[in-house]
Chains A and B, each alone.
Chain A
Amino acid sequence: MTSFRYALRDTFRLLFRHWGLSLLTLVTAASVLYILGFTGLFSLNLRQMISRVEGGLVVQVFMKKGQNADPVVALVKTMPTVTSAAAVSPEQALEKLRAKLGNQARAVTLLGENPLPWSVEVQVGRAEQIAPLVRDLIAVPEVEEVLYSGKLVERLTTISRAATTASGTILVLAAIISTLVIFNTIRIAIYSRREEIEVMLLVGATRTYISLPFVIQGTLLGAGGALLAIAGIWGTYASIMNAVRTSLPFLDIIVDRRTLLQFFLLLFATGATLGWVCSWLAVSRFISRASRAK
């Protein structure tokens, strides 16, 4: 407990005695976390837009004459990729047809007996899950025909895969760059106090005693940087939201405050964790080198 008290005091000494370096670390952390956070938010939005389009895709399964939809409903219920499946009776199908035809609805009466079969409308979460689903459905003996927008699905699958890969890559790159920049800035801060650390080692300070102020300082600067980045991202994103609402209202970007709050909490935790891990790594490496007997 006493050591922790000293560590806290030394943390604030570190922060204010070398305020220039602290400020540099804070600004660096804020900048890289801003880029990281914005990349993340962009990826989330892209993923949401694609998901919305993908979620709207419907596979229509038509049963053979005289067959009801039970075998297909039973089958799709066992498939984890299926998000919804609704059986449509011939009567419901006829009603839908009438509604679609509008003014020409009377033409339907010319058909006499309802010629429409039982069908099932199946939805999946991702476009790439449609092809295997269609293969399974066609194999069901009671199924007459399976209809879906093949070309659109293929294109969406390609776009979705490319978007996932691109945003994932950018995110990973941004994370690596953020880690390296924060790590090196903290390393410079530690290096500027090498003399003090060496003396501490020589007078018998433990590694934990020496590291703790640096680790607390790194965590605080990481968290502080994240707060600044969040403020910056929020400011920018709010203006983007306003612009999109006015100029591109069909664009489905994330506006849900709960989702945004969760995202910002994650960014805050990332900043604090990055600061903690980077400072711990940097100070541990430094102490290991400094305390290695020659």
Chain B
Amino acid sequence: MDIRMAGVTKVFDQDIVALEDVHLSVDSGEFLYLVGTTGSGKTTLLRILSREYIATRGQVTVGDRNLRKIGRSELPFYRREVGVVFQDFKLLSDLSALENVSFALEAMGLPPRIVQNRANEVIDQVGLWRRRFLKPPQLSGGEQQRVAIARAMASSPSVFLADEPTGNLDIRTSEEIMKLLLSINAAGTTVLVATHDRNMVDAYRQRLVELHNGRIRRDERRGRYLLDDEL
């Protein structure tokens, strides 16, 4: 699914402008890094796409859906098409890794057999087969991240959004996560990754959009991560 943002502005209470006049087009199957300093608007942009936020001004379409016009009953179905990996994982601590994934599939009303097969499949894909019965507090940060990715992948979404997927992870684990995200993209899914992990961006060059104070400062095909003094 493609993503189109035209003149998108997001203003929070007390006139805090998180995004200002953002124009962004992401084609179906594209991989895009959203980079920028803390507070530059990366998470706000992802949250607008996952429909947690609504843009104050401007238009956002994902596929053929105008996000402003998505009704209450249609929202769950939209969210199943958009897999999200949250910055804080949002895993349920009293469910095992496998149950965290199954839970998302059950929420779609799928029959138990399909849920079981699909959950096993994605848990295996993210390399957690042997750790599948452990609960999040028993898993490392990288493993929790992988559970979150598996849960987001489970519904085979057309768009995949990941907020700081390698934040606080060591280089080796970060590389594994990045490879996982690239494999999801290779299957035809549009992937947007908000990050300030310079190593990963430079190691796996993709389209790069840099946000600065809520505005797009750079949009490069195979961009490098540049610090302010390098620009």
Contacts and interface: CB of A to CB of B under 8 A. Distances in A.
Interface of A: 2-3, 5-6, 17, 195-196, 198-207, 209-210, 291, 293-294
Contacts of B54: 293-294
Contacts, number: 65
Given A195-B92, A196-B92, A291-B72, A202 B109 contact: no
B109 A2 contact: yes
Interface in B33-85: 50-54, 72-73, 75-80, 84
Nearest to B52: A293
Interface in B85-143: 86, 90-92, 94, 103-104, 106-112
A6 B111 CA distance: 9
A204 B109 contact: no
B53 A294 contact: yes
A210 B104 CA distance: 12
Nearest to B155: A204
A210 B79 CA distance: 15
Contacts of A195: 90, 92
A90 B42 CA distance: 103
Given A2-B109, A196-B92, A291-B75, A203 B52 contact: no
A204 B108 contact: yes
Contacts of A200: 103, 107
A204 B77 contact: yes
Given A207-B72, A293-B52, A294-B54, A202 B79 contact: yes
Q: A-B pairs with the 8 shortest C-beta distances?
A: A205-B107, A204-B80, A204-B79, A203-B104, A293-B54, A204-B76, A3-B109, A206-B76
Interface of A is mostly: helix
Contacts of B52: 202, 293-294
11 contacts: A5-B112, A196-B92, A199-B90, A199-B92, A200-B103, A202-B84, A204-B78, A204-B79, A206-B107, A206-B109, A209-B109
Nearest to B89: A199
Contacts of A196: 92
Contacts of A17: 94
A6 B103 CA distance: 10
B196 interface: no
B212 interface: no
A204 B107 contact: yes
A198 to B, nearest CB: 7
Nearest to A196: B92
A6 B99 CA distance: 13
A172 to B, nearest CB: 34
Contacts of A198: 90
A209 B80 CA distance: 14
A108 B50 CA distance: 101
B151 interface: yes
Contacts of B109: 2-3, 6, 206, 209
Nearest to A5: B112
Nearest to B92: A196
A202 B94 contact: no
Contacts of B155: 203-204
B92 A202 contact: no
